[in-house]
Structure 1
């Protein structure tokens, strides 16, 4: 059965963070939510059927992650990214963020410096601060509606005694898929200054045509021994609520220390339904994913084209993820006034750019993982509000 990406599922009153917090976050039930990174799309029928079968079994005891599951992960990584991993390198957890917490906790010390490349996913800040480590920013360079890394500045930060970098690839929110050449420059510096790489690659399967995701750990044996790679099927297959992820950690010492930390805090298993969904996604989900990527490319192009002739807002052309970074700086509004414009005049609920760091002021993030008609509706509301403002 072909996937249905155009029917809109009813999500209100399902304890959906995206939908049932609209009034709390945006001040009105009339605001159209296009913020938090999950999809307004039903999951693949093949995954749904496996979950139904598991429910009908009727027993939800302690559930193992066994060699068969490891094999499915290994095969998926190879098929998607041509990276040959060892099953022993896999460490399961409830999510990428818990894994990053454990990596920071075990591989760095209080007071250590950790680099993030801003603007960036907000939890990166709290991961560092909650463990009494020091945030060191390596701001991305924004020119001609595209972001790049500032390698000279990055090396300057490394010279200060940085212990780790949290890499976001593909990058949330700016949508870059870092090229192999960019990653090679990054890893050369990390190896030279002995900087641990904590790589969040949760969006690795959501790549637009003309781009290629390179797992940073796949670049060389030396890099792999200095890298923790965090992955999950949850963004790819809209399974965030099932809380299942894994890290690939070739370095045995690092892997053991992170595993021991999970055990210390009582996190020794992932949930039954998450295991079921992961296996189904990686064995039967490829056709659904191909259809999703076509939809996302259509939606990405729709948003970029819609603002192409507008002076006020530029939609940065994402290379990966289903998140579009909107440059609203030409509106010449304070950031608070920009938020009010989106919420009260356009009546769309977007992610506040400033939540990604100081460098995000004047920007907003829009989620396009919805039926095309819904994305078009949200874009039209913004365009209409811009016209209304201009005609005042």
Structure 2
């Protein structure tokens, strides 16, 4: 007689299967390269982290908790006594608010009003803080959508979004293809609108209740590293108004811009907060996501912020589940102290931009010297989008070839980069490489060495 398995719920079995697909990544991270301790390890250029400002950040964080350990690479050797924030008894209890301390939300409000050129001042009550943007994305899916609803995303896009939306809330990601259309131009709206109409119609025909409830725009873009011009953002706003869906603007790379001589006409960053909604969209449909991970090089601090200036009910909905992702009081305190030190903050942002540009030029020079193609129109964020289609074996399908090349780079080259399929790319054979990691140049050398040994298709 068959027995029922009572170990786990049926709903979590999908999560287990999804997690199993990450086994290769965990294997890479368990064997990372170190010049002295593990020289035969794998160089990780696949995870979006910014290590270029680690010296300054570590120096500042140690000063925040009263451990002044000067670093010769730091921007400033001087410490503002008012910015010293030793650990206190008040930092040990739960705190007053699972959606972030008043101190941090006030600091974020001032920071975003200034640096995002917000048309209307951001206020602390407009903000919900959580333990990273992964949590924010999951909370948004729960708050804005019912099970089976969809969130629109233009391809390629950040690989974790589908799981963020679906793992617990069972909200679907609806990928949008652009073909020959420039996805940063106003023409992209036609592609988005077709996806909305087609998906909703398909749901109706299948007798399902799901509808597109929101559209996510990542600006600056991940993985293309380009900003959306204001005209395109306005066209997207009008589209969201037409279909009465929420516009979620993920601006986590907002201040990570750099100079790229090949993209001198690339637009700078425009926050959705800086644009007037008048005549375009009901402002209650417009929301912004931000975090400490990228511009501040602190993925491990797990701090993300959701901003909505005109929708109390959505803020209440986000706050209602905030206790499941309550940010650490120490991380909360550290980010607030950084944001409140305007002198340090200004120097940090400008130095980060300078180093990103220098690192971009070093890494792209290596690619050019070896004739490796890449999309050269980015001027923001931390990555390059490489075109390795010529290196795929001719006796395989493009997708099979992409998987094969990815594994070859790990096994024979000792370097890990992310492939197109994980970003829902339209064309197999493209790869994302992160150039802001400590061993980027070592990884680039390994990459080109492996590719130089791989016969080209043509």
Q: Do structure 1's residue 93 and structure 2's residue 130 form an aligned pair?
A: yes
Change (3 A) 1:77 1:223: farther
| 238, 245, 253: which one aligns with 1:188 | 238
The structural deviation recorded for 1:321 is 0.8
Measured against aligned partners, the alpha-carbon deviations of 1:164-207 in whole angstroms (never above 9, x if no partner) come to: 11221111112121111111111111111111112221111212
Change (3 A) 1:56 1:133: closer
**Aligned residue runs from structure 1 range 1-392, under 5 A:** 20-22=29-31, 29-41=40-52, 42=54, 43-44=56-57, 45-52=59-66, 57=88, 60-64=92-96, 65-83=100-118, 84-130=121-167, 131-141=169-179, 150-160=188-198, 161=200, 162-209=212-259, 211-221=267-277, 222=281, 224-250=283-309, 251-263=311-323, 266-267=324-325, 269-284=326-341, 285-308=345-368, 310-333=370-393, 334-359=401-426, 361-370=428-437, 374-390=439-455
CA distance in 2 between counterparts of 1:275 and 1:328 reads 41
Is the Cα contact below 8 Å between 2:292 and 2:335 reproduced in 1?
yes
> In structure 1, the residue corresponding to 2:151 is in which secondary structure?
strand
Normalising to structure 2: TM-score of the pair?
0.72
Is the Cα contact below 8 Å between 1:249 and 1:255 reproduced in 2?
yes
Change (3 A) 1:259 1:223: same
Measured against aligned partners, the alpha-carbon deviations of 1:125-179 in whole angstroms (never above 9, x if no partner) come to: 11333323333221245689x9667321211122344221122111111212111
> In structure 2, the residue corresponding to 1:247 is in which secondary structure?
strand
Is the Cα contact below 8 Å between 1:95 and 1:243 reproduced in 2?
yes
Larger Rg: 2
**Structure 2: where are the runs of 5+ without partners?**
1-25, 34-38, 68-84, 201-211, 260-265, 394-400
> In structure 2, the residue corresponding to 1:256 is in which secondary structure?
helix
- Is 176-185 or 213-222 further displaced after alignment? 213-222
Change (3 A) 1:329 1:256: same
CA distance in 1 between counterparts of 2:101 and 2:407 reads 50
> In structure 1, the residue corresponding to 2:287 is in which secondary structure?
strand
> In structure 2, the residue corresponding to 1:307 is in which secondary structure?
helix
The structural deviation recorded for 1:104 is 1.4
Change (3 A) 1:133 1:69: closer
CA distance in 1 between counterparts of 2:170 and 2:447 reads 41
Residue 11 of structure 1: aligned partner: none
Change (3 A) 1:129 1:234: closer
The structural deviation recorded for 1:312 is 4.5
CA distance in 2 between counterparts of 1:34 and 1:129 reads 27
Q: Could you say what the CA RMSD is over the residues aligned between the two structures, in angstroms?
A: 3.0
Change (3 A) 1:343 1:316: farther
Is the Cα contact below 8 Å between 1:166 and 1:199 reproduced in 2?
yes
CA distance in 2 between counterparts of 1:167 and 1:282 reads 25
Change (3 A) 1:143 1:377: farther
CA distance in 1 between counterparts of 2:387 and 2:140 reads 33
CA distance in 2 between counterparts of 1:133 and 1:88 reads 27
CA distance in 2 between counterparts of 1:169 and 1:319 reads 12
Measured against aligned partners, the alpha-carbon deviations of 1:221-267 in whole angstroms (never above 9, x if no partner) come to: 4453102211112211122212112110121111112211324xx44
CA distance in 1 between counterparts of 2:254 and 2:130 reads 18
> In structure 2, the residue corresponding to 1:115 is in which secondary structure?
strand
> In structure 2, the residue corresponding to 1:159 is in which secondary structure?
helix
> In structure 1, the residue corresponding to 2:295 is in which secondary structure?
helix
Is the Cα contact below 8 Å between 1:91 and 1:247 reproduced in 2?
yes
> In structure 2, the residue corresponding to 1:364 is in which secondary structure?
strand
Normalising to structure 1: TM-score of the pair?
0.83
Change (3 A) 1:172 1:277: same
The structural deviation recorded for 1:60 is 2.6
Is the Cα contact below 8 Å between 1:51 and 1:276 reproduced in 2?
no
